[in-house]
Amino acid sequence: MNEIFQAFIMSFTPISLLVAFVSTLIGVVLGAIPGLNGGIGIAVMMPFTYGMPPALGLLFLGGIYMGSSYGGAITAVLINCPGTSNATCTAIEGFPLAKQGRGKEALYYAVYASTAGGLLGVLALIFFTPALAQLSLRFGPPEMLLVSICGLAIVGSMSAGKVKKGIFAAICGLTLKMIGMQASTGMPRLTWGTKTLLSGIDTLPAIIGLFALAEMVDQAAVLIGGGEEVEKIELEKEKVALSTFIKTVSFKTGHGLTLWKSAIIGTIVGILPGTGGAIAAFIAYGDAKRSSKHPERFGNGAEDGIIAVESANNAAVGGSMVPMLGLGIPGSTNSAIMLGAMTVHGLIPGYQLFNETPGIAYGFLFGMILTVLFMLAIGVLGVPLFSLILKVKMEYIVPVVIACCLLGAYSSRNSLTDVFFACVFGVIGVAFNKFDIPCAPMLLGLILGGLIENYFLKTVMLANAAKQGLLIYVVTRPLCIVIIALCAYLIYSNSKDAIKTSKIKKELGAGQRI
């Protein structure tokens, strides 16, 4: 308890406040620029957290994650082009409001709802994650083997309807993870006689290549091909943004039910591994439209639509990190990248994180509250300046991001080999994007492949010691039965949510940007 209190106090030190503010600001800007997003920001900035204490490093990446979830609403409202897939439905309601001269109002609704949803998601993260991690203490190698396999079972739901392609990507990740020294025998495997491959493939170059380099190459191709001009809404500058914000969101008690119901939906959907903010946003938007007294307003600038979407997608940020920190199963693509960041910092999710390093764990959890509060401040006071973000040209951004990617890959182990691997994974990412193959399952395969092999070997040894077959040994353990049942439920629930999301998207005619 004393360590938890100290972590709470340390969260309000000047350096923690600075890290939380800067990271949230970076996240908001990245989320607002079409073509960039929180995942790319986390991948690019991850190497720059090496010199930070682990708690501050994770907080820096978490702030980018939280800020980007709101930032996507800025371009959704101003140019009808969501900066992130989470804000697709925000554009449906926000841009019509902006065309009516109510752009500021739409942005204020977005930050108001994002703050409420973000706080609820972070509170769920603080209260549920330690309990889940404590439960993981009762897990032996058989249970952890099933948990790791359960992580792979969410590949279908992380594949946005492209299940076969997602499975292919996961198999590619598992195969690449086999490169290097075999854990139990120390024999080289899939190295083709190359000493460079003996140490295996580091997670960081893979993340940078798949998510950052590949996206920048795609953006460069768009620039070379020439992009279409989009209609933009300019915001008039105002001297006192806070008073306008209070006037906008006050006396709107009729939106309270939508706000908190959507936040709860976002938190629950976020906790389910393999879902994330985009699915939460579509489900919350569909629910808000069905329960509205004026459904005819949806599509023409309904405030409830903006509030539902932004509340849900920000609540999903904290929710998606609950299974990541508690069990090591990411709840979304961004939390999968965060999981990779934890491994880079030498942190192991679950009981060990909260028992052996409670200062780091709780420092990060309490720090996430700061990111939500700073997101509110940036969202309210920055409205007059948001139009300036739209003037940042991608031709200036692309080379800077690529340079940061290569520098970050090199700093991983001060090795040009990692730069080479980052470029290789960048080529793989470009190829995957071209053939519409999701990259997140490949990252899952890379992260979980080593864990599955390790726990499988230990489970085999325990089964042999018990003089039982492997299958009998596993299914006779009560917790294993519970995990198998939970895995089956997750597959069913995620499939149901994906079908529901697909129906809502068809109704809205919102395309396939999710």
Residues 86-103: what's their mean pLDDT? 82
What does pLDDT average to over the chain?
A: 80
pLDDT of 194 higher than 90: no
What is the length of the chain? 514
Label residues 376-406 b or e (16+ Cβ within 10 Å = b).
bebbbebbbebbebbeeebeebbeebbebbb
- DSSP for 128-159? HHHHHHHHHTT--HHHHHHHHHHHHHTTTGGG
> How confident is the model at residue 181, as a pLDDT?
83
Looking at residue 411, its amino acid is: S
Label residues 199-229 b or e (16+ Cβ within 10 Å = b).
ebbbbbbbbbbbbbbbbbbbbeeeeeeeeee
Residues 338-365: what's their mean pLDDT? 83
Residues 467-479: what's their mean pLDDT? 90
> How confident is the model at residue 273, as a pLDDT?
66
Residues 274-282: what's their mean pLDDT? 72
Alpha-carbon span 125 to 271, nearest angstrom? 9
- Report residue 232's pLDDT band, with 50, 70 and 90 as the boundaries: low
pLDDT of 371 higher than 90: yes
- Report residue 511's pLDDT band, with 50, 70 and 90 as the boundaries: very low
> How confident is the model at residue 393, as a pLDDT?
73
pLDDT of 514 higher than 50: no
Largest CA distance in the chain: 76
Where is average pLDDT lowest: 321-325, 352-356, 376-380?
Answer: 352-356
pLDDT (tens digit, 9 = 90+) per residue, 102-125? 888 888 889 889 999 999 999 998
Alpha-carbon span 59 to 272, nearest angstrom? 22
- Report residue 433's pLDDT band, with 50, 70 and 90 as the boundaries: confident
> How confident is the model at residue 302, as a pLDDT?
83
| CA 339-119-123 angle, 5° bins | 65
Where is average pLDDT lowest: 189-193, 205-209, 229-233, 417-421?
Answer: 229-233
pLDDT of 257 higher than 90: no
- Report residue 5's pLDDT band, with 50, 70 and 90 as the boundaries: confident
> How confident is the model at residue 66, as a pLDDT?
92
Q: What is the dihedral of CA 206, 210, 215, 216, to 10 degrees?
A: 30
Residues 404-422: what's their mean pLDDT? 81
pLDDT of 314 higher than 50: yes
- Tokens in use for 356? 């052996």
Alpha-carbon span 66 to 152, nearest angstrom? 25
pLDDT (tens digit, 9 = 90+) per residue, 13-43? 899 999 999 999 999 988 887 666 777 888 8
- Tokens in use for 379? 């969202």
pLDDT of 230 higher than 60: no
Residues 139-152: what's their mean pLDDT? 82
Where is average pLDDT lowest: 63-72, 97-106, 302-311?
Answer: 97-106
Residue 97 phi/psi, 5-degree rounding, is: -65, -40
Residue 466: is it exposed, middle or buried by C-beta count within 10 angstroms (0-12/13-18/19+)? exposed
Classify 205 as helix, strand or coil: helix
> How confident is the model at residue 513, as a pLDDT?
40
- Report residue 427's pLDDT band, with 50, 70 and 90 as the boundaries: very high
Residues 52-76: what's their mean pLDDT? 88
Rg (CA), the chain: 22
Residues 258-283: what's their mean pLDDT? 80
Residues 399-413: what's their mean pLDDT? 80
> How confident is the model at residue 73, as a pLDDT?
87
Alpha-carbon span 456 to 461, nearest angstrom? 9
Q: According to the per-residue pLDDT averaged within each range, which of 175-189, 203-217, 303-317, 322-336 is highest?
A: 303-317
CA 40 to chain centre: 10
Residues 159-174: what's their mean pLDDT? 80
> How confident is the model at residue 465, as a pLDDT?
92
More confident residue, 208 or 474: 474
> Among residues 369, 409, 274, 267, which one has the least CA distance to residue 331?
274
